[in-house]
Amino acid sequence: MPHTSLNPATNKLLQTHASWDSHRLKQALEKTHHAQQAWAQTPFARRGEVLRNVAADLRTRRDQYAAIITQEMGKLLREARAEVEKCAGVCEYYAQHAEEFMRTEPVASDAGKSYVAHYPLGVLLAIMPWNFPFWQVFRAAAPALMAGNALALKHAPNVPQCALAIEAMFRECGLPDGVFTSLMIEVEQAAEAIASPHVHAVTLTGSEAAGRKVAALAGQHLKKCVLELGGSDPFIVLHDADMELAVDMAVASRFLNCGQSCIAAKRFIVVPQIADEFLSKFKTKVEALRLGDPMDDATQIGPMARADLRDTLHRQVADSIVQGAVAVTGCQPAEREGFFYQPSIMDRVTEKTCAWREELFGPVAIVIRATGEEDALRIANETRFGLGSSIWSRDTARAEQLAAHIQAGCTFINGMVKSDPRLPFGGIKASGYGRELSRLGILEFVNAKTVWVR
């Protein structure tokens, strides 16, 4: 099937791109393998120069790239601009720090001299999603390229224009031909790419189901992989929270990118003393969100990326209401052209509802009423996911104590969960394994080689 670019705000076809056959995939991976061998010998200074060129291009053509993102997957245009800026920042970060991160580490031993040196693995296959179609790619590409690896991108089939724009950008900014390539392949062909002798490691951002398949395939071929999968992040509001701040950040964290984010706050866990106040203020602000054209800067909620995603979300909402959840606001598709869903809140979500167990990937917040602080912590951990989490309390020392017991890759106190190039990013449990960003991220895909000299 062709890769189809469809505007989710209008349901209009933008472009189609033919899928590659196995022969073309094999040729592309061979070319990338040979290109990587030369790139690995390129000095850090030159690698950094290329990434700085890319950062400059991202900023110069920010609005052009943002428009592609918005038209192809429905993200608000201002959010798309911010995404492009963030990509420029991660390029500059690794251009500045990669050589330091990969510096040889002397280690005292029984040798006359011993040390750990870091060398690139080879070609990294990056299987990336549609929800942050630039950022997810750059989050993997910037450290991988600075480490001396090459990157073969298998992007989501509904964002082919983003994939090709990124490939063209790298080429125009001085990256040697083949070091970054976009593979126009079907989902089923990912197995063939993982099995290729020219692919040496895999990174995936995607669903739990996709992660299980990729992990199994990578394991079968003894290839390193990093998985960043789904999340059902708890947002714990304690009795002494700054209520205005908590509610403002609840809206921002849940409804950014139309709620289509792995690290969006999804489960709003509230203690009895403030539950009704929080819900009342939250409802008021959610109902004030303006739904409309994502190209209009006045719009606050755009469309979901695909019709099937909207339909799946509504099935989860409808099932949860039948199972006892209370519809506070929204909880219906919007009656207009495109794949819109009303910004929504469900209250009184319990273990009996599918919203308790499943990730809701869209503009729907669920409120869970805990009996107290310890119960809130129990609920936060009572999920198979473990990506992000946040705690809202004026007593930051107590919040830090609680944070130590939350089963997640990160906990933010009085702040919205986000990724930052300076900090490691990733999850535990069904949210995946391995880390992206920071020094840990670049070292995921290198050979840490011990050298011992008598």
> In the prediction, which pLDDT does 426 show?
98
Place of tokens 């990174």: 203
Same domain, 209 and 294: no
Q: Determine the average pLDDT of the residues in 31-41.
A: 98
Domain interval for residue 42: 3-229+429-453
Q: pLDDT tens across 415-445, in order?
A: 999 999 999 999 999 999 999 999 999 999 9
The helix (H) or strand (E) run that includes residue 267 is strand 265-270
Q: pLDDT tens across 352-383, in order?
A: 999 999 999 999 999 999 999 999 999 999 99
> In the prediction, which pLDDT does 391 show?
98
Task: Specify whether the CB–CB gap between 272 and 427 falls below 8 A.
Answer: no
Q: pLDDT tens across 91-119, in order?
A: 999 999 999 999 999 999 999 999 999 99
Q: pLDDT tens across 62-76, in order?
A: 999 999 999 999 999
Same domain, 156 and 249: no
CATH of the domain at 63: 3.40.605.10
The tokens describing 256, both together, are 């950014």
Same domain, 242 and 360: yes
Same domain, 170 and 246: no
The tokens describing 356, both together, are 């308790």
Q: Which residues are catalytic?
A: 228, 262
Is 419 part of any domain? no
Task: Specify whether the CB–CB gap between 163 and 4 falls below 8 A.
Answer: no
CATH of the domain at 374: 3.40.309.10
Cα dihedral sign, 177-182-186-187:
positive
Same domain, 174 and 315: no
For residue 139, pLDDT beyond 90: yes
What does the CA dihedral 19, 23, 27, 30 come to, rounded to 10 degrees?
A: 110
Same domain, 111 and 36: yes
> In the prediction, which pLDDT does 122 show?
98
Is 361 part of any domain? yes
Q: At what angle do helices 44-60 and 160-172 cross, to 10 degrees?
A: 130
Mean of per-residue pLDDT scores for the chain: 98
* Residue 294 CB burial class (10 angstroms; 0-12, 13-18, ≥19): buried
Q: Most distant CA pair in the chain: distance in Å?
A: 75
Same domain, 358 and 443: no
Phi, psi (rounded to 5 degrees) for 281: -70, -40
Place of tokens 């273990």: 351
Same domain, 243 and 205: no
The helix (H) or strand (E) run that includes residue 321 is helix 307-322
Q: Determine the average pLDDT of the residues in 404-418.
A: 98
The Cα–Cα gap between 346 and 279 comes to: 10
Residue type, 134: F
Q: Determine the average pLDDT of the residues in 250-273.
A: 98
Is 158 part of any domain? yes
Same domain, 283 and 219: no
> In the prediction, which pLDDT does 155 show?
98
C-alpha count within 13 angstroms, C-beta hemisphere, residue 264: 23
At 281 the three-state DSSP class reads helix
Task: Specify whether the CB–CB gap between 263 and 229 falls below 8 A.
Answer: no
The rounded percent of the chain whose pLDDT value lies above 90 is 100
| C-alpha angle 141-145-150 in degrees, rounded to nearest 5 | 90
Is 418 part of any domain? no
At 169 the three-state DSSP class reads helix
Is 420 part of any domain? no
Q: Which pTM does this prediction carry?
A: 0.97
Strands 150-154 and 123-127: parallel
Phi, psi (rounded to 5 degrees) for 427: -130, -175
> In the prediction, which pLDDT does 378 show?
98
At 150 the three-state DSSP class reads strand
Strand order in the sheet with 180-182: 180-182, 150-154, 123-127, 201-205, 224-228, 432-433
> In the prediction, which pLDDT does 395 show?
98
Q: Determine the average pLDDT of the residues in 136-147.
A: 98
Is 424 part of any domain? no
Same domain, 225 and 238: no
Task: Specify whether the CB–CB gap between 74 and 339 falls below 8 A.
Answer: yes
The helix (H) or strand (E) run that includes residue 124 is strand 123-127
The Cα–Cα gap between 179 and 137 comes to: 14
Same domain, 361 and 270: yes
Q: pLDDT-derived band of residue 393, with 50, 70 and 90 as boundaries? A: very high
Cα dihedral sign, 115-120-125-130:
positive
Instruction: With CA atoms as reference, report the closest residue to 125 among 165, 76, 183, 167.
Output: 183
Provide the number of structural domains found in the chain: 2
Question: In Å, what is the CA distance from 351 to each residue of 159, 320, 348, 354, 382?
Answer: 36, 10, 10, 8, 10
At 147 the three-state DSSP class reads coil
Same domain, 92 and 138: yes
Place of tokens 């912590």: 377
Strands 344-347 and 364-369: parallel
For residue 1, pLDDT beyond 90: no
The Cα–Cα gap between 363 and 447 comes to: 41
Is 422 part of any domain? no
Partners of 113 in the β-ladder = 453
Is 201 part of any domain? yes
Phi, psi (rounded to 5 degrees) for 389: -165, 160
> In the prediction, which pLDDT does 2 show?
83
> In the prediction, which pLDDT does 446 show?
98
